[in-house]
Amino acid sequence: MKERATFTIESSILDKIDTTIDGYKIKNRSHAVELLLMRALRDKSLNKALILAGGKGERLKPITNEMPKPMVPLQGKPILQHAIDLMKRHGIAEIYLSIGYKGDKIKEYFGDGSRFGVKIIYIEENEPLGTAGPLRLAKKYLTETFVMCNADELKNIDLMDMFLFHKEKNAKATIALTTVPDPSLYGVAKLQGNWIMEFLEKPQNPPSNLINAGLYILEPEVIDMVPEGFAMIEKQIFPKIAAEKNLLGYSFTGQWMDTGTMERYARAQEEWKGL
């Protein structure tokens, strides 16, 4: 719930605040002030993240014959570490890693997370559970609004702004959306305003150039929608939330790179600019 407040502030400070308003990402002075306060106070309403790190990386063989996909090195550190860095940068220090294939190598490298300035708890999949199944394993921990993301994409997203957007719209789930030159290679969002109506998988005539960036802000009740065993959040959960008109799309302009194939991985090695 929001409350109206009146403050007296030096005009020079307001001038600086106004320079952050772009009418798109930061829409007005009120939005700018709220976002700046959240960052300054490190609002702990968003302090947990689940990162999916159980993938085999079949398309990155032979590299992934020896290591799990999240441990593939990129610019001097594992791909997974870039995701952890993103969380830490936004004050999210409690991270749950869902691991499966060669998960012992992830545990050996990251340990309890203290070396990286975070706390890591491992969610171990005895069998592949897809992109939604791990949520059920982590249910007892994820009792408040949380971030969920894939480990194998590189993303530079303002999580605090995304969180504020999610709360303003009172969404059950918010998906980060990014633009790509050829959206027909991905799942493309069909939008009504900011609300996602559906995703069209690799469409010949894309309704937009916005695709799922593999990062979400979710409310805990989403977990109750996940069936036992293997489940895919993109195919089984998000369509249900979209049907409720409660699936929000957050378009961002920061860099995003897919590392899913050898060609895309090589490009990311060269072009990723970091956070």
Active site residue 202: yes
Residue-wise pLDDT for 124-182, tens only, equals 998 999 999 999 999 999 999 999 999 989 999 999 999 989 998 999 999 999 988 88
- In sequence order, the 6+-apart residues with CB closer than 8 A to the CB of 193 are none
Distance CA(187)–CA(197), nearest Å, equals 13
Q: What is the torsion angle, in degrees rounded to the nearest 10, for the CA atoms of residue 153, residue 156, residue 157 and residue 158? A: 150
pLDDT digits (tens, 9 = 90+) for 107-122: 999 999 999 999 999 9
Residue 146 has a pLDDT of 97
pLDDT digits (tens, 9 = 90+) for 220-275: 999 999 999 999 999 999 999 999 999 999 999 899 998 989 999 999 999 999 88
What pLDDT digit, counting tens, does each position of 13-61 carry? Answer: 787 878 878 765 577 887 777 777 766 665 557 899 999 999 887 888 8
pLDDT at 187: 80
Orientation of helix 79-89 relative to helix 103-110, angle to 10°: 50
Show me where the domains of the chain are located: 40-271
40-271: CATH topology: Spore Coat Polysaccharide Biosynthesis Protein SpsA; Chain A (3.90.550)
Give the count of alpha carbons within 13 A of 86, CB side only. Answer: 27
Residue of 139, 202, 245, 273 marked active site? 202
Q: What is the pTM of this model?
A: 0.85
**pLDDT tens, 174-190?**
999 998 888 888 888 89
